[in-house]
Chain A
Amino acid sequence: MTPNLVYIVLVGVLFAAGVVLLLERSLTRILIGVILLGHGANVLILGGGRAGGTPIVGTVPTEDMSDPLPQAMILTAIVITLAVTAFLLALAYRSRDISGHDEVQDDVEDRRIVVLAERDAMPLTDDQDQDAA
């Protein structure tokens, strides 16, 4: 089987665009990036199988059929991507509802520890003092 150049270029473009979007802070852009990456992966899987006619017995001689397994796998992957996309959209909407934007935020506790580290303070001293922190 020889690889198809169009597929490979397409996969490359989809992956590149997806990765750039994934590095954004806004969840909506990340979502689009994930969708592009998912498409890229699907095209990659499709390119891994043999090309040919419809894989239904009786329509095409067996040796001219395309490989049906990658197609089955892609269908599964598409369904999964659909579900996850719906969930991410809901998440972005809810995030906008609560905080007015859909940006992926830093972890609060991490920030707190960074601030403590800059001040060179312990998070908590091990004595009886209740107001230690």
Chain B
Amino acid sequence: MTFLVPLPVVIPLLGAAITLLLTRRPRAQRTVSLTALSATLLVSLALLMLSTQDGALAVAVGGWGPLGIVLVADQLAALMLVVSSAVTLCVLVYSIGQGLVDGAEDTPLSVYHPTYLILTAGVTNAFLSGDLFNLYVGFEILLVASYVLLTLGSTENRIRAGTTYVVVSLLSSLIFLTALGLVYAATGTLNMAQLVDRLDALPDNLRLVLQGMLLLAFGIKAAVFPLSSWLPDSYPTAPAPVTAVFAGLLTKVGVYAIIRTETLLFPGGRVADLLLVVALLTMVVGILGAVAQSDIKRLLSFTLISHIGYLLLGIGLSTTAGLSASIFYTAHHIVVQTTLFLVAGLIELRGGATALDRLGGLARLSPLLGVLFLVPALNLAGIPPFSGFLGKVGLFQAAAGVGGWLAWALVAGGAVTSLLTLYAIARVWNLAFWRTPNPAMPGVPPAEGSALECVPAVSVSVQGAMVPVSAGDERVFESSAPSSDSDSDSDSEDGPTLLPAMMVAPTIALVALGVALTVLAGPLFGIAESSAKDLIGRDAYVQTVADLPEVGQ
């Protein structure tokens, strides 16, 4: 069944190529991207099942053995693949819904689909990669795609935010590339399984330098505290679905890379304590930043940074319990953070803004929106019985198992962060959902706000697809914007007050997925624990790659 392993990378890339050819046919584009991402999800599920039953699967692309590109789907990679492809699929549906409603210059969908699929391919490539250079290529694929997505429409704000983002990302990539050069010079390979032995043989100080450079590069990508200030500046300006998928996936790819390198390449290193200190600072400083914000998207960006600290906590403990809790928490956090950004997009649509001082009374205007926000928000804050609570308990238990003042300081810091997250969330709830509606908001007084949510998806998509697209328009927008005045008029009138079904449905699906993580926490923790054992044992991974046929066979 090893033929399945490259598919999560190949399918989105093929889809990207096809959608690029279909630039002028939005409907076909949509079908292709939806099919590609659904297929990716199915393959990922199959990979998770196979790797859980029979252990890791590996493929040497082109038959070059450890010299060339090796893709390895072990449990950790497969779990991340499943969560990430489920999330990307939901966000794609959401963005299609938003494109149909907005019809605005914000979403030139003809570029959107191929870029989005390439982003997905980069993420899956990074997860599956069995050598450091391919990991670098995966990062570059997803980063270049993210540059384009972040500056979609190239408005002034997005260009400003995009510039910071691109420059910081470039710097981290250069550090990564330099580290690769040093690793290769020191060991003569970049294949992770081969590096295991060769790095162990190196002098301690040299290993520390290599580890430090890799950590620095991944730390920037994962938005770890001193290296995180680029994130809240750049993420909130992008369109809601783009921010959502960035928040859910991009930083987690960095975290995944840290998990891989810390366990497989540099186990028991001297930087574990440093990681713990950084984890504490990331948690506390991040959440203090969130408390000071007055815009929902920026606030969520800061909670995103802060909760990266929890993931680092488990990695820094470097015990099986810590790692498995970290892996569980990563899966949980991908889903919850993406959901919250999608809901922020819905709030923007319904309330006309994401600035807290311009919102109010949303709970009465749209009870469904209230529920959609509250469930993932409580989940993020770690209120029992949600998965956020279970993940935090797992992390705290692991820290208590290790003991020592630093571990206990982290438990205290984690608890404070959790409470402050609750405070930040409660503040959003009070200001945006509870007080009297702002008269400046669209649709106030309410005109049966919640009844509007039952626009059937079919009619929406048909309506959008039937609209002729003017051929002279350079950027072909998918929806009704370019022509047909009557249609776009009715759209723009209803747009702000209606919550379109195509946007609500994927959000509900993600909220449900977040709740499902709670219900399925038992089996999920089982998978997380056995992959943590594999990570710490290292032999299974090395053996899988060593069993690959040599060159020419």
Question: CB within 8 Å of A: which of B163-189?
Answer: 163-164, 166-167, 170-171, 173-174, 177-178, 180-182, 184-186
Contact of B438 (CB < 8 Å), options: A37, A80, A109, A130? A130
Residues of chain B within 8 A of A34, CB atoms compared: 167, 170-171, 174
Bound Cα distance from A22 to B435, whole angstroms: 47
1/0 per residue, CB under 8 A from B, across A80-120: the answer is 10011001100100110011000011011110010000000
Contact of A113 (CB < 8 Å), options: B174, B292, B356? B292
A99 and B156 contact, CB distance less than 8 A: yes
Size range of the interface on B?
35 or more
Residues of chain A within 8 A of B174, CB atoms compared: 34, 37-38, 41
B95 at the interface (CB under 8 A from A): no
Looking at B156, B167, B170, B233, the one whose CB has the most chain A CB atoms below 10 A away is B170
Bound Cα distance from A124 to B435, whole angstroms: 14
Residues of chain B within 8 A of A73, CB atoms compared: 133, 180, 184, 190
A45 at the interface (CB under 8 A from B): yes
B181 and A123 contact, CB distance less than 8 A: no
| Least Cβ–Cβ distance between A92 and chain B, in angstroms | 8
Bound Cα distance from A126 to B429, whole angstroms: 11
Given contacts A83-B144, A128-B435, contact A49 B292 (CB under 8 A): no
Bound Cα distance from A40 to B470, whole angstroms: 48
1/0 per residue, CB under 8 A from A, across B308-348: the answer is 00000000000000000000000000000000000000000
Residues of chain A within 8 A of B167, CB atoms compared: 22, 27, 30, 34, 104
B24 at the interface (CB under 8 A from A): no
| Least Cβ–Cβ distance between A22 and chain B, in angstroms | 7
A10 at the interface (CB under 8 A from B): no
Residues of chain A within 8 A of B431, CB atoms compared: 124, 126
Q: Which residue of A lies closest to B355 (CB)?
A: A133
| Least Cβ–Cβ distance between B351 and chain A, in angstroms | 13
Contact of B163 (CB < 8 Å), options: A38, A76, A95? A95
B166 and A87 contact, CB distance less than 8 A: yes
Residues of chain A within 8 A of B160, CB atoms compared: 95, 105, 107-108
1/0 per residue, CB under 8 A from A, across B45-68: the answer is 000000000000000000000010
Bound Cα distance from A124 to B161, whole angstroms: 24
A69 at the interface (CB under 8 A from B): yes
Residues of chain A within 8 A of B171, CB atoms compared: 22, 34
Question: CB within 8 Å of A: which of B429-452?
Answer: 430-431, 435-436, 438-439
B104 at the interface (CB under 8 A from A): no
A95 and B159 contact, CB distance less than 8 A: yes
| Least Cβ–Cβ distance between A21 and chain B, in angstroms | 11
A84 and B144 contact, CB distance less than 8 A: yes
A27 and B163 contact, CB distance less than 8 A: yes
B177 and A77 contact, CB distance less than 8 A: yes
B106 at the interface (CB under 8 A from A): no
Residues of chain A within 8 A of B435, CB atoms compared: 128
Bound Cα distance from A115 to B140, whole angstroms: 37
Bound Cα distance from A51 to B413, whole angstroms: 52
Residues of chain A within 8 A of B162, CB atoms compared: 91
Given contacts A104-B163, A105-B160, A109-B298, contact A45 B184 (CB under 8 A): yes
| Least Cβ–Cβ distance between B111 and chain A, in angstroms | 13
A126 and B178 contact, CB distance less than 8 A: no
Residues of chain A within 8 A of B236, CB atoms compared: 109
A48 and B185 contact, CB distance less than 8 A: yes
Residues of chain A within 8 A of B211, CB atoms compared: none
Residues of chain B whose beta carbon lies under 8 Å from any beta carbon of chain A: 67, 133, 137, 140, 144, 147-148, 151, 154, 156-157, 159-164, 166-167, 170-171, 173-174, 177-178, 180-182, 184-186, 190, 232-233, 236, 292-295, 298, 355-357, 360, 427, 430-431, 435-436, 438-439
For the A-B complex with A34-B167, A76-B137, A124-B294 known, give 4 more contacts whose Cβ atoms are closer than 8 Å: A44-B182, A73-B133, A91-B162, A133-B357
Q: List 19 A-B contacts (CB under 8 A).
A: A22-B167, A34-B167, A34-B171, A44-B178, A47-B181, A48-B181, A48-B185, A49-B184, A69-B67, A76-B133, A80-B173, A91-B166, A98-B156, A98-B159, A109-B232, A109-B295, A113-B292, A130-B438, A133-B355
